[in-house]
Copies of this chain bind each other. A is one copy, B any other.
Amino acid sequence: MVTTSETPTGLSPTSPSGLQTRRPTLHDVAARAGVSKSLVSLALQGSPKVAPASREAILAAADELGYRPNRTASSLVRQRTHTIGVHILDLHNPVFAEILDGVQEAVRRNGYSTLLVTGNADPATERTEITRLLESRVEGLVLIAHRLSDEALSAIAREVPTVVVTWRTDGIAGLDSVAGDDVAGARLAVDHLVTLGHSRIAHVSGGDNRIALQRRAGYERAMADHALAPLVVDGAFTEQGGYVGAETAVGAGATALVVANDLAAIGALAALRARGLRVPDDVSVVGYDGMRLLDSLDLTTVAQPLAEMGRVAADLLIKRIDVPDTPSTHRRVETRLVARGSSGMAPTHARGRQAAEPWSSST
């Protein structure tokens, strides 16, 4: 198509490298197509009111100039960003990636897009990154785990619809949550090991965060219900945490480990290998979370429907964006034990021991 070229604006100016110096605007496109900026705006939004000929000319001009709409300007005037902010506690833990899958799926299905951000387990960067999301005027916030105080969290929830994935937020008004039942989940692990004849079942803890404490409580209650002596050793939600935790646990004579999460369970496995202990013949290991990778690693775990958690969270959030004044809902997802090769019968010499016998450092 031939455009009359008495319009002042030619092709976009380029620097020697070919990198554009000034980005073309609606105005430039309008000048090149010989119409007003309003019509260009209309045409690019696909309005049916634009005459076919004009539309064609505008699209051609935009293409020739390499026009790229400016989202910041658009969302400023529209007062909408159609964007959901997502904070991930730790990108190194594949569990969070799996939750994110579900979030993205639901967010996109609802016509929003996501802005992803991570504090990498550092509370200070976590704060600044979330602040950044709020300043970018995201319309909702998904927190895939976080380290905020209850006050900080509720302040945020007052500002923008928010949903927390991974733990319940009962006390705090105006925000939703999606989580599994960590107490019941830890009990599943203990029950499973008891069924296999274990009594010296130790728990490698995940530190003193909320989730870790819940799982620990579940372990302790289950042990008490089975009239077994509990042993909790310090660990963390990382491979290293699992490694050192497993070392002290087997040092104390444990034949089975309930590890705080999958990543730590992988670390525990490494510690056992380093000690020359076989899994599950000498020691059984059960993880927590249910990340996909564990299938390949043949690790027994307490599994949560991760992608579904993300999906449910995003759906709750979008509902809350549409109807801001809904009471908080806290969704509980089903937790189940997935038995794999890392858990087996207790070693014969350790089986059938007296239940509440105190722990000693025998091997």
Contacts and interface: CB of A to CB of B under 8 A. Distances in A.
Contacts of A17: 173-174, 324-325
A263 B161 CA distance: 37
A266 B293 contact: yes
Contacts of A75: 72
A191 interface: no
Nearest to A98: B92
Interface stretch (A36-44, A128-136, A206-214, A250-258): A128-136
A273 interface: yes
A104 interface: yes
A324 B269 contact: no
A273 B340 CA distance: 13
A71 B324 contact: no
A73 interface: yes
B135 A70 contact: yes
A68 B296 contact: no
A192 interface: no
A28 interface: no
B120 A104 contact: yes
Contacts of A243: 296
A296 B265 CA distance: 10
Contacts of A325: 15-17, 19
Interface in A99-129: 100-101, 104, 108, 113-118, 120, 125, 128-129
A352 interface: no
A166 to B, nearest CB: 17
A354 interface: no
A273 B298 contact: yes
A305 interface: no
Interface in A67-110: 68-73, 75-76, 81, 91-92, 94, 97-98, 100-101, 104, 108
Contacts of A269: 296-297
B239 A267 contact: no
A334 B19 CA distance: 31
B113 A116 contact: no
Interface in A292-333: 292-293, 295-298, 324-325
A296 B132 CA distance: 35
B293 A68 contact: no
Nearest to A14: B158
A66 interface: yes
Interface in A219-251: 239, 243
A97 to B, nearest CB: 4
